[in-house]
Structure 1
Amino acid sequence: MPVPAFLTANIFNRVGGPSRVQPRPFTADKVLSDEHVEAAIAVLKHSADEDTIREKMKATFIYRQSMVNNEKRAGDVFSVFPRLLDTPGLIEQDFRLLFGEATANKFLEKWPTNLKRKVITESHGLVPTTELLDLMRNAESTAEIENGWDSDMSAILLLLHLLPPSAQGRKRPGKVSACQAVEHLIRFIKAGTSVQQHLDNISQSSQPYLLAQGPARSSIHTFFIVIDKYALPFKATCSVGALDDLFKAHYVFGTSYSSSLANVFTFLQTTIYNIDVGETRKLPELQSCEQEWCVSVK
């Protein structure tokens, strides 16, 4: 079985994000024997009880991490652990086992108290464009705006303008614009549209992104994370929780960031979650922005 692109991308990780070479402080209660791992996996194949699923997923956490960090085995993670495809909250559980409760809570704590306001304030200093002004208006509004994202997602997308994509590669081709980068972060489908049809229409591999479903962009009812041609359910029903889960999925599955989102995710990683701060290489553009305005959100 060919290994999905997103699961092998971690070996090309040059601009921050999960890396197989850096050990994690695993916090699972104990390491199971091979026999007990096989027994737990067998239960997971057929169990529909959420408490049992969570217990067995926790028990097989270290085994699962060894899979996603092994190029030859990574492509089998969803067939071995199919509950990832139908049980919300498992990405969050694995991330908490990787980094602990305090780290897992950082973004959800900082966004409403400080970070969102800082993002909106700093956006007023950017060169105005139609797209930027629309996002700023939506971010500052408490009312639902036709054809626009909700307040939180609009503010999140402002981060793409504050920390825009950088040119990648030795020849440094033209940069992807902040507006173009949105498609690498989130895509929208109307309520009633088939999620499977969206997956079937995917023509090329990509890094994980959000799929938002609802009657309008400003009224999302369901979020998924799309990984190649799989749609993983989220517990989160709000934009902030969805971005939090998307970030965490990179670590749970050991995949690097999309180059279009690397500056935003590296900022979240090092400045908000405080993960691998000293080990992560930052591009000059990101270092400059952090020095100018990010220090106050810590």
Structure 2
Amino acid sequence: MNHTSDREVIMQKMRTTFEYRQHLIHDPEKSTTILSVFPQFLDTKGLILQDFTLLFGSESASRLFERWPTVFKAKVIRLAETLTSTPLLKRLLSSAKEKREEQDSPEWDSDLSSFLLLLHLLSPQASGRKKPHKISISQAVDHVVVFQKACRSIQEHLEAEENRQPYILATGSSKEAISQFFIVVDKKLIPCQESSSLAAIDELFKVHFVFSISYDLPLKNMYTFLQTTIYGIDVGTTSESPGVFLQPAGSGPYPDLTKDLRLDPMTTQC
């Protein structure tokens, strides 16, 4: 693989070495070397998606694309509309519904904006052992996706970033006009296969399982919702906070999101 640029050959060889790669990933002494042993992740699009499919099958791999646009997106927008308004919530709702006013500052596209509304419904979790610290919704958004102007140095951005869990780096002329999405892992860029924001969200979630990376603790509620409710992974065995689906951030008593988002003929897990 180190001596070919043929994508089909690389994809086939990566399928062949899948079991060996999983052995490395689950070896505490070697897991941090995975991107050095398999640098193809850094320049060949689609490898994250291929490994995830080998882990969970094509049905699970396609669930976000099948369910978010048809079921979850509209429900998340509807529930978010009942929350106490904030400037960020207002902008995200406006962009999610594709009704942005001309005077509004550029915001993310409809799919990404609707997804970020989940952070208002599923409260960011406090992190830290001795003194738990709960981050704001705005800070939580920055833990999911960061915008970088295409004219700026990506390398400078990576060098300035503190080591943290995977996130999306979106580059372009504005948040509305993203030219490329990357997943940042250990200060390295993994190019997303597709140029859509929904595809970037999909790869961000999947990279955790492909490389056996723990969730960013403040985003655990959001990732757990994706894992169990949308992708159907380890349903019934994954520990969930009692408030994950019941209490949106700072809103007090709230309708049961488990009922509103889960118990639907199109979303109930088999």
Whether these two folds match at TM > 0.5 is: yes
8 Å Cα contact 1:146-1:218 kept in structure 2: no
Q: How far apart, in 1, do the equivalents of 2:218 and 2:44 lie?
A: 29
Residue number among 145, 148, 158 corresponding to 1:189 in the alignment: 148
TM-score scaled by length of structure 2: 0.89
Residue number among 173, 180, 185 corresponding to 2:132 in the alignment: 173
Structure 2, unpaired ranges of 5+? 247-255
Cα separation, partners in 2 of 1:130 and 1:287, compared to 1, 3 Å: closer
Segments of 4+ in structure 1 off by > 3 A? 142-146, 168-172
Q: Which structure's relative contact order is higher, taking Cα pairs within 8 Å and 6+ residues apart?
A: 1
8 Å Cα contact 1:107-1:273 kept in structure 2: yes
Alignment of 1:1-298 (within 5 A): 44-141=1-98, 146-168=105-127, 173-202=132-161, 204-288=162-246, 289-295=256-262, 296=264, 298=267
Q: How far apart, in 2, do the equivalents of 1:200 and 1:269 lie?
A: 31
User: What is the CA RMSD across the aligned residues, in angstroms?
Assistant: 1.7
Structure 1, unpaired ranges of 5+? 1-43
8 Å Cα contact 2:60-2:232 kept in structure 1: yes
Q: How far apart, in 2, do the equivalents of 1:109 and 1:102 lie?
A: 10
Give the number of aligned pairs: 254
Q: CA deviation at 1:168?
A: 3.7
Q: 1:40-87 CA distances to partner (integer Å, 9 max, x unpaired)? A: xxxx11210001000000000011111111110011111111111100
TM-score scaled by length of structure 1: 0.81
Q: CA deviation at 1:274?
A: 0.5
Amino acid at match of 1:253: F
Amino acid at match of 1:291: T
Amino acid at match of 1:195: I
**Between Structure 1 and Structure 2, which shows a larger proportion of helix residues?**
1
Q: Aligned to 2:170, what secondary structure does the other structure show? A: strand
Q: CA deviation at 1:290?
A: 3.8
Cα separation, partners in 2 of 1:213 and 1:154, compared to 1, 3 Å: same
Q: Aligned to 1:245, what secondary structure does the other structure show? A: helix
Percent identity between the aligned chains?
45
Q: 1:260-281 CA distances to partner (integer Å, 9 max, x unpaired)? A: 2111110010000010012110
8 Å Cα contact 2:124-2:218 kept in structure 1: yes
Q: CA deviation at 1:167?
A: 2.1
